[in-house]
Structure 1
Amino acid sequence: MISIIIPVINEEENLKKLLPYLQENNAEEIIIVDGGSTDKSREVAEKFSAKVITSAKGRAKQMNAGGKAATGNILYFVHADSLPPKNFSAAILNHLTEKIQFGCFRSLFDTKNKFLRFNSYFSRFKGMMFRGGGQTLWITRDLFDQLQGYDESLKLMEEYDFIKRASKRSDYRVIQQDVLVSTRTYDDHGNFRTQLVYAFVMFGFFRGIHQNKLLRFAKFWLK
């Protein structure tokens, strides 16, 4: 069984779109991990019969809490503002093997903007620089447990760290189907600025720059 885990903080509007979409496409278990919403995220989740749990704020903490609460032997981490392909369950099961125990999809920004469409194109390739949380991530329960989940000390780049560690234990697959990804951060701060900040943060993270410095940098330029 595939357990879908969605970390949220104030994602009421996105959940109204995502949850019925997942149900229409045969989702077996949906777990909403609320990190302290002040809107109606919990009410919306309960309306669509999703399991709602509470966690300390922080994406890594929320995803780990969801992983612990899940009953499936495959965990599928989805951002509230992303829409997986309609046949996501079958696609995951078709690519799961003994050698490939985790993976993601390509991403496609929900826009006609040529810059962001060009950006999306590279998500079809393997390699850390082409990854992103919006692509969603699936992983076997066994491998998730071996890794002891996400690193809860991280305030950013937790998914990149997770993929890096998982890659040491298993090969992974980028399924050549698109997850529709929100452009809200790009819309708020501009395409070029947002992409440049993301690039600097990724470079700094893998160069060992302390996460607090990277977080201050990102907040300054994306405030």
Structure 2
Amino acid sequence: MISVVIPTFNAAPTLVHTLSALVPAVVDGVVQEAIIADGGSTDDTSVIADAAGTHLVQSERGRGTQLDAGAAIAKGDWLLFLHADTVLEPGWADEAASFIERVGSGRRKQAAAYFRFSLDDDGFMPRLVEMLVSLRCALFALPYGDQGLLISRAHYARLGGFRPLPLMEDVDLVRRLKRRELVGLKSRAVTSAQRYRTEGYFSRGFRNLGLMVLYYLRVPPRYLARLYG
């Protein structure tokens, strides 16, 4: 049913947890395969991918390029694009399967779905970031890649897929969807807060906001990728 596509670059520290959260869905037949689209990792990413029984595809580094490379070999009728430091909480597969069934039966029109953003950290600042992300999604229908994206392969093809961008590939694709074609699911996608902890919540938050402003001002993504780090 679902092919999960995960772009990686030296993702060994988090990849095990991301893949482990998919196991129950594999057992239940919701996830058909997991594809690791690697951009030239030099750590144990490929070892983990092989041990987990995933399909490993090597591509030029860049999330947009990697994601599209993974989608190109996917066998499932539905694609789930997921970051390598994001863990889907238990119950996500049932909700995803219900969404797919509604679309497949015609009870709702063709759409893509994303998960509720969450950070694996305690305290006020992580909750504030989560609240602001929820607000962004509600006001602008603009989920990011760390919330996952579940979309039928046919719909993905009609949109033209991910473009070969080093950053903002998720925003670029989502903006090609109409607001009514985006559905927020209740299950959480719990993402690593390591960057926030390392750089500081305010610094990282303002950097992300600044990058988005620059993107809308048409600054080339290759420059944004350098600023992102």
TM-score by length of 2: 0.87
Is 1:179 aligned to residue 183 of structure 2?
no
What is the Cα deviation at residue 216 of structure 1? 4.3
Unaligned runs of 5+ in 1: none
Show CA shifts across 1:154-193 (max 9, x none): 221110110001227x611011221111111112211101
Aligned partner of 1:22 in structure 2 is: 22
Instruction: Write the distance in 2 (CA, Å) between the matches of 1:129 and 1:75.
Output: 20
Aligned partner of 1:159 in structure 2 is: 170
Show CA shifts across 1:19-51 (max 9, x none): 222113333211111110101111111111111
Is 1:103 aligned to residue 113 of structure 2?
yes
Aligned partner of 1:37 in structure 2 is: 41
| Identity of matched residues, % | 26
CA RMSD of aligned residues (A): 1.9
Aligned partner of 2:130 in structure 1 is: 120
Please identify runs of 4+ aligned residues in structure 1 that moved more than 6 A: none
Aligned partner of 2:208 in structure 1 is: 198
Q: Which among 79, 89, 94 is matched to residue 90 of structure 1?
A: 94
What is the Cα deviation at residue 122 of structure 1? 3.7
SS in 1 for 2:160: coil
What is the Cα deviation at residue 146 of structure 1? 0.8
SS in 2 for 1:193: helix
Unaligned runs of 5+ in 2: none
TM-score by length of 1: 0.89
Contact 1:6 1:78 in 2 (8 A): yes
SS in 2 for 1:67: helix
User: How many residue pairs are counted as aligned between the two chains?
Assistant: 217
Contact 2:141 2:182 in 1 (8 A): no
SS in 1 for 2:89: coil
Instruction: Write the distance in 2 (CA, Å) between the matches of 1:69 and 1:108.
Output: 30
Q: Which among 119, 142, 149 is matched to residue 137 of structure 1?
A: 149
